[in-house]
Amino acid sequence: MSKEKGNKLIANNKKAYYDYFIEETYEAGVALAGTEVKSVRLGHCSIKEAFIGIDNGEIFIHHMNISPYEKGNIFNKDPLRKRKLLLHKYEIDKLAGSQKVKGYTIVPLKVYIRDGLVKMEIGLAKGKKLYDKRQEIAKKDMKREAEKDFKIRNLG
């Protein structure tokens, strides 16, 4: 768990940046039960298989895994239940309109705690093709090689 700008990062979805071009990002609150918040504070949260859907003007995250709180009892909720995201109505309408365009989807990017509240960064994304992914891998390899050569030249 790292800290960035006073936020405590809980979960990060690196695969989303590999599979999608992220065009816009939004910060949404997450409606959680009490024991779920305690579990998230301990870092027991995963958004690897999670996806976001819009139903009747409300936005939900599905398959976000929050492990049951160990000290909880009957108040523990289902770890994979769908949870409501808290956004302004105009933001939800904008996302819903963009999602209808072919190739766009909404993906969860990060879960973090800001000022004691559990927040999620979501992104409006367009899927990458296989050749886009190959180009990205090639760029990373070239950058790594350049850094390696620079390091060798400066140390030698």
**Domains of the chain (ranges plus CATH)?**
3-128 (2.40.280.10)
Positions of the chain with pLDDT lower than 70, given as ranges: 1-6, 72-79, 156
Helix H or strand E segment including 153: helix 130-155
Per-residue pLDDT reduced to its tens digit, 46-88: 888 888 888 888 888 888 888 777 776 666 666 677 888 888 9
Rounded Cα distance, 44 and 55, in Å: 27
